[in-house]
Amino acid sequence: MYKNFKVIETSLEKLKDDIKNFYDPSKYHFITINAIDFGNGKVNLKYFFSKYDTMEEPIAFSLDVTYEDTIPTITDIIPSAWISEAELADLFGLKIEGAQKGLFLEPDSPPAPLRRS
Amino acid sequence: MGNKMIVPFGSQHVALPEPVRFVFETENEIITNVEVDVGYVHRGIEKACQTKIGYKQVAYVVPRICGLCSISHNMAYIIAIEKLLEFEAPKRAKYLRVLAHELDRIHSHLFAMAHVAEAAGYENLVMYLFRDRELVMECLELLTGNRVQFDYGCIGGVNRDLTPEVEKELRKKLKKLEERLFWFRDVYLNDYTLNLRWKGVGVIPKEMAEKYNAAGPVARGSGVRTDARAEFDALPYRELGFEMVVYEDGDIWARNMVRMDELLISMRMIWNVLDGLPEGNYKENVKGMPKGEAVCRWEAPRGELFYHVRGDGKQILTRMRVKTPTFSNIPVLKELFIGANYADVPAIIISFDPCLSCTAR
C-alpha cells in the first residue's frame, strides 16, 4: 500500500501528543500535511516528515477525519505548519483550529474544490 | 512612538517577478508585522490531475506548473509513479535525467542570481548573467527540444536519447559556460558593492531555519544540511559527484553563494554524466495501473519539491499532491521580515527566489 514511506497511525485525540513526542526540529524536517478525500465523507490526513541529511524513507502520521471534525492545530509544535493548515482549510474546507481562510483561493472561487462529496 | 505606516507591497510590484502580496506594518521604516497572500495564480492543477487527466498524461501537465523548474515537476511526478508501479528506469535514462535536471538547476540559479543582482542595483552583472544563461538555455533546447516547458522525462525513462552530435555541441557550450561560472564566483566573492549590500542583511540563524522548516538554498545558506538529492533515493547523484553546499552566515550573500557553488557542483555532475553515460535503453515500456501510495522528494532549484500520489487501480489518480519549495519558505520569509528595514524588503524577497505559480498551482 505505502510504497516508499513509513506510516504511523494516529487519531484525532492522539495527534498532537504523537507529533510532540516525535518531532525534534534539529533532526526532522516537516514536509507538509496532505489530505485524501475518499468521497464517503472521510478524509485521510498525513503529516509528512523527513530526517535531515540521511537517506531514510519519509515518515507520515496518518489519521482519518470527517468534514465535521475540528482538527487541532500543530502550529504550537511546528510554527511553519500554518500554511499547510490554511491550504487544507481552503481546498478541502476542513475545520482546523485557527487556520486562515482565503490564502489560496480568491473570494469568487468555488468553495473547497478538492472535496469529492 | 515613531511614524507608523501600513505599506502594501504587491501583488504587482517592480521588484516582484510574480504576484504575491505583502502588507507591512512599519514603525520608522522597521517592519513590525506582515500579512501575506499567495493565492493569486491558483489554477486548480491538482484537481484537474485527479478528476480529468489519466496518470500517464499528468506527466505532461505538471511541467506547466512552473516555467523555470518544469523539469523538476515532470521528473518528481514520474519518479513517484514509477515507485508506485515498482518500476526502475534503465541506468542510461537515470543519467540523462540527472543531465537535464542539473542543466535546469544551472539556468534557474543564474536567473535567481541575476534578479538578486538587480535588486542590488548591479545592472551590468544582470546582463552578464542573462547573456551567459543563454548558453545553458541552448543546451536544454538541444537536449530536450524546448527552451522552457521541457517534457523530457516520461514514465519508463526519457523521451529523447542523447545523440553524439548533440553531445558534441553540449560539450562546446558547457566548456564556455564553465569558464564564465568561475568568473562569476570571483565577482560574488570579491566585489565590494555586492558584499556591502548583502552581507549581514536578511539573516536567518540556523535555529530559525530549522524551526520554520526552510528548504533549499535558503536552508543551506543558514547551515542546515538538507538536500533531497542526499535524502531521497531518486537518481544516482552520489556516484555522479554530488556534494552538498552549506554556508553558515544565513544572509543574502550566503544564499547567493550556495547557488553559486551549486552551479559548479552541477557542472561537475554534468561532465560526469557525459563522460560516463552507460549504454542501453533510454526508455522502457511500463505496464500496470497505479495502486497504493508513493511519494517523491526532489531537490528542485529552489528547494524540496514533494509529490504524493495515490492510485486505486484506475487511469485517473485518486490524489496527486504537489508541495513546492516556495510553499515551505513562505513561513520563514514572513518571520524574517519582523524587525527588518523596509528598504531591504525587495532584496530579501528576491534572495528567496520565490515562485508563486508553483506555490498557488
pLDDT class for B357, splitting at 50, 70, 90? low
How many whole angstroms separate alpha carbon A107 and alpha carbon A86?
A: 15
How many whole angstroms separate alpha carbon B336 and alpha carbon B340?
A: 7
Report the residue from B213, B230, B318 with minimal CB separation from A53: B230
- Chain B segment 191-210 residues within 8 A of A by beta carbon are 207, 210
B55-101: per-residue pLDDT in tens?
889 989 888 888 778 889 999 999 999 999 989 899 999 999 999 99
Q: Could you tell me the CATH superfamily of domain A6-96?
A: NADH:ubiquinone oxidoreductase Nqo5 subunit (3.30.460.80)
B150 pLDDT above the threshold of 70: yes
B167-220: per-residue pLDDT in tens?
999 999 999 999 999 999 999 888 888 887 888 888 999 999 999 999 999 999
- Chain B segment 212-241 residues within 8 A of A by beta carbon are 212-213, 215, 224-227, 230-233
B152 with B95: CB under 8 angstroms? no
B332 with B208: CB under 8 angstroms? yes
Q: What integer pLDDT is reported at residue B41 of this predicted model? A: 75
Q: What integer pLDDT is reported at residue B306 of this predicted model? A: 94
Cβ of B175 under 8 Å from any chain A Cβ?
Answer: no
B206-217: per-residue pLDDT in tens?
999 999 999 999
B280-339: per-residue pLDDT in tens?
899 988 888 889 999 999 999 999 999 999 998 888 999 999 999 988 898 998 888 888
The distance of A68 to chain B (nearest Cα, Å) reads 21
Q: What integer pLDDT is reported at residue B1 of this predicted model? A: 55
How many whole angstroms separate alpha carbon A107 and alpha carbon B143?
A: 43
How many whole angstroms separate alpha carbon A23 and alpha carbon A116?
A: 32
- Chain B segment 290-329 residues within 8 A of A by beta carbon are 292-295, 297, 304, 306, 308, 310, 318-319, 321, 323, 327-328
Is the bond preceding B11 in cis, omega lying within 30 degrees of 0?
yes
Helices and strands (H, E) in chain A, number of each type: 2, 6
How many whole angstroms separate alpha carbon B341 and alpha carbon B77?
A: 40
Beta strands in chain B (DSSP E): 4-9, 21-27, 30-37, 153-154, 157-158, 291-300, 303-312, 319-323
Q: What integer pLDDT is reported at residue B360 of this predicted model? A: 64
Q: Calculate Rg over the CA atoms of chain A.
A: 14
Q: What integer pLDDT is reported at residue B93 of this predicted model? A: 94
Q: Could you give the C-alpha distances from B286 to A73, B56, B235, in angstroms and in order?
A: 41, 10, 18
How many whole angstroms separate alpha carbon B326 and alpha carbon B330?
A: 6
Contacts of A102 (CB under 8 A, 6+ apart): A90, B39
How high is the mean pLDDT of chain A? 91
* Structural domains of chain B in order of their starting residue, each with its CATH number: 42-331 (1.10.645.10)
Residues of B in contact with A3 (CB under 8 A): 83-84, 86, 292-294
Neighbours of B264 (CB within 10 A): 17
Please state the rounded mean pLDDT for residues B261-279: 94
Neighbours of B136 (CB within 10 A): 27
Report the residue from B210, B231, B321 with minimal CB separation from A54: B231
A41 pLDDT above the threshold of 80: yes
The residues facing B297 across adjacent strands are B306
A61 SS3 class? strand
Q: What integer pLDDT is reported at residue B66 of this predicted model? A: 80
A71 with B246: CB under 8 angstroms? no
Q: DSSP states of B132-184 as a string?
A: HHHHHHHHHHHHHS-SSS---EETTEESS---HHHHHHHHHHHHHHHHHHHHH
How many whole angstroms separate alpha carbon A19 and alpha carbon B133?
A: 44
Cβ of A77 under 8 Å from any chain B Cβ?
Answer: no
By C-alpha distance, which of A63, A67, A87 is closest to A13? Answer: A63
Contact A53 B292 (CB under 8 A): no
B127-146: per-residue pLDDT in tens?
999 999 999 999 999 999 88
B166 with B142: CB under 8 angstroms? yes
Contact B332 A114 (CB under 8 A): no
Contacts of A100 (CB under 8 A, 6+ apart): A82, A86, A89
How many whole angstroms separate alpha carbon A85 and alpha carbon B139?
A: 41
Q: Name which residue leads in pLDDT, A81 or B122.
A: A81
**Interhelix angle B164-190/B252-276, nearest 10 degrees:** 160
How many whole angstroms separate alpha carbon B54 and alpha carbon B77?
A: 13
Q: Domain residue spans in chain A?
A: 6-96
- By residue count, chain A amounts to 117
| B201 CB-side CA count, 13 A | 24
